[in-house]
Amino acid sequence: MMDLDDLGLKAHNQSRADSHQQAFARLADTLTDAGADVEALLSRIQAFQVAIPSWALGTGGTRFGRFPGGGEPRSLEEKIADVGVLHALNRNSGAISLHIPWDIPTDPAAVRQLASHYGLVFDAVNSNTFQDQPDQAESYKFGSLCHADPVVRAQAVAHNLEVIQHGLALGSQALTVWLADGSSFPGQLNFRKAFARTLESMKEIYAGLPSGWQMFVEYKAFEPNFYSMVVQDWGSALLFTQKLGPQAKVLVDLGHHLPNANIEQIVALLMAEGKLGGFHFNDSKYGDDDLTVGAIKPYQLFLIFCELVYGMQQTGAQPLAWMIDASHNLKDPLEDLLQSVEAMLLAYAQALLVDQAKLEMAREANDVVMAQELLQGAFRTDLRPLLAEARRRAGGAIAPLTAFREAKVRAQLIRERGHKVLATGL
């Protein structure tokens, strides 16, 4: 198991101390001149924690193939260790989100202790009714919670209830339900029955929700079904959660929309309704491409964070489940995740920098030019030294990706785990 001391953080930070301090000092002066409270920003950045999904620690693939890297985690314990490395480097990856049945904890107490050793907590647990497991009685080929056959629906409900139990044992407080249910051909599905059956199934799951828990209903426009999805957009997801009750919330995955959708508006409306529960961050150009957060549309990411920051201000402490959900087909998964967390933090910090009072004044005056200036002014500000300082103070690396490479983490993992191992996941 990777020893965090081997990451060489002290040496890394010492070698960069001078140049970092200079860059940070310049930025701090600039921000202070502009009226920002640098210390407050630093503490909010430090408090921001992103959950890492257990299935994103191995190489992903497409239906055309998969090109594994090496040193992938072979067990839940090794997945936790990988997230531990990330968190040690950036101090913003302090949670892990499990996927059942890929990550069933056989000894929950030991798993919790291991996570705690790395400073990690368990975020939402995820059920899987989009694949058939080898020992499974009924097939999900034609759906799970929406299936025409009540026996299949019952199996899928039971699976979700079991996932809750695993989550309880680990200290999770939310269940994420993503359904592949839908149809690939016109006529295949009775839309009304599919909705009603799914609702009925969800109600059974909801009834099994422990107090204090939330149930996240995730929507997706298409894939793996190519004509319709039962929970196809935020409108459907909201409708389900309205009918389920106050513990049901909507989960937004950035890649699950039709082309050109205005996601930030959806975020704003869901927050206004008190129905935004969680977030799967990634980036995409065409569909659910599951690319590194911020790799394609960093400005959209910033605009989403503007709504999140504003929405949280409006509603007080609405705890959101922030998670990365990407697929690392080409990049080293850990490097990819470091880039993703950095992009999220940057967008978050820039959103914090927006002068809300001035923005509202410009909006009320229909000063469209000024409203854009205010947003782009924040977005164009280079806050990387601020993030580095927040990490440094929290005991992380000034430059996590560089530190990761300097410490030759991947080579060490390959030595430990081998070259040809495959982590569970997509």
Q: How far is the CB of 179 from its own copies (least distance, A)?
A: 11
- Which is nearer to its own copies, 5 or 33 (by Cβ)? 33
Regarding 135 and contact with its own copies (CB under 8 A), the answer is no
> Using the rule CB under 8 A, which residue among 29, 37, 107, 416 binds its own copies?
29
Which positions from 97 through 116 interact with its own copies, judged by CB under 8 A? none
149, HSE (Cβ side, Cα atoms, 13 Å): 12
Helix (H/G/I), strand (E/B), else coil: 252: strand
At closest approach, how far in Å is the CB of 263 from its own copies? 11
The three-class DSSP label of residue 380 is helix
How far apart are CB 283 and its own copies at their closest, in Å?
A: 9
Tell me how far apart the terminal alpha carbons of the chain are, to the nearest angstrom.
Answer: 24
Among 154, 161, 312, 401, binds its own copies (CB under 8 A): 401
Smallest gap from Cβ 201 to its own copies, in A, equals 16
Residue 64 lies near its own copies (rule: CB under 8 A): yes
CB hemisphere CA count around 364 (13 angstroms): 6
Q: Helix, strand, or coil here: 325?
A: coil
Q: Rule CB under 8 A: which of 335-354 touch its own copies?
A: 335-336, 339, 346
99 DSSP assignment: B
* 177 part of the interface to its own copies, by CB under 8 A: no
Closest to its own copies by CB, 168 vs 222, is: 222
Report which of 119, 120, 68, 122 is spatially closest to residue 100, judged by C-alpha positions: 122
Nearer to its own copies, 335 or 389 (CB): 335
Q: Contacts with its own copies in 250-269 (CB under 8 A)? A: 258-262, 264-266, 268-269
- Min dist CB 183 to its own copies, Å, is 8
Nearest Cα residue to 404 out of 171, 85, 51, 152: 85
Q: Choose between 56 and 95: whose C-beta lies nearer to its own copies.
A: 56
Helix axis angle for 76-90 and 409-417, nearest 10°, is 170
Minimum distance of its own copies from residue 412's CB (angstroms): 18
**Parallel, antiparallel, or unpaired: how do β-strands 174-178 and 125-126 relate?**
parallel
Q: Please identify which residue in 108, 130, 161, 355 interacts with its own copies, judged by CB under 8 A.
A: 130
Q: Are 70 and 418 in contact (CB under 8 A)?
A: yes
Q: Which of residues 186-205 bind its own copies (CB under 8 A)?
A: 186-193, 195-196
The amino acid sitting at 256 is H
The residues in 139-158 that bind its own copies, with binding defined as CB under 8 A, are: 139-142, 148
Considering only the stretches 50-58, 74-82, 166-174, 232-240, report the one whose residues sit in contact with its own copies under the rule CB under 8 A. 232-240
Site for its own copies in 282-341 (CB under 8 A): 284-287, 289, 291-292, 294-299, 303, 307, 310-311, 314, 327, 329-332, 335-336, 339
Task: Considering only residues 370 through 399, tell me which ones interact with its own copies, judged by CB under 8 A.
Answer: 371-376, 379-382, 384
CA Rg value for the chain = 22
- Interface with its own copies: number of residues (CB under 8 A): 112
Taking CB under 8 A as the criterion, which residues in 202-221 touch its own copies?
221
Query: What does the DSSP 8-state code read for residue 15?
Result: H
Closest separation between CB of residue 274 and its own copies, Å? 12
Dihedral sign for Cα 113, 114, 118, 120, please: negative
196 three-class SS: helix
Give me 407's structure tokens.
Answer: 């410490």
C-alpha span between 50 and 62 (Å, rounded): 25
Please tell me the distance from the alpha carbon of residue 92 to that of residue 45, in angstroms, as a whole number: 8
Interacting residue with its own copies among 3, 39, 357, 366 (CB under 8 A):
366
Q: Is 32 in the site for its own copies (CB under 8 A)?
A: no
- Beta-strand relationship, 61-62 and 65-66: antiparallel
The count of other CB atoms within 10 Å of the CB of residue 43 is 12
227 belongs to the binding site for its own copies (CB under 8 A)? yes
Q: How far is the CB of 151 from its own copies (least distance, A)?
A: 13
Cα(238)–Cα(276) distance, rounded to whole angstroms?
9
Residue 331 has a CB neighbour count (10 Å cut-off) of 18
Q: Which is nearer to its own copies, 161 or 221 (CB)?
A: 221
Least distance to its own copies, CB of residue 388, Å:
12
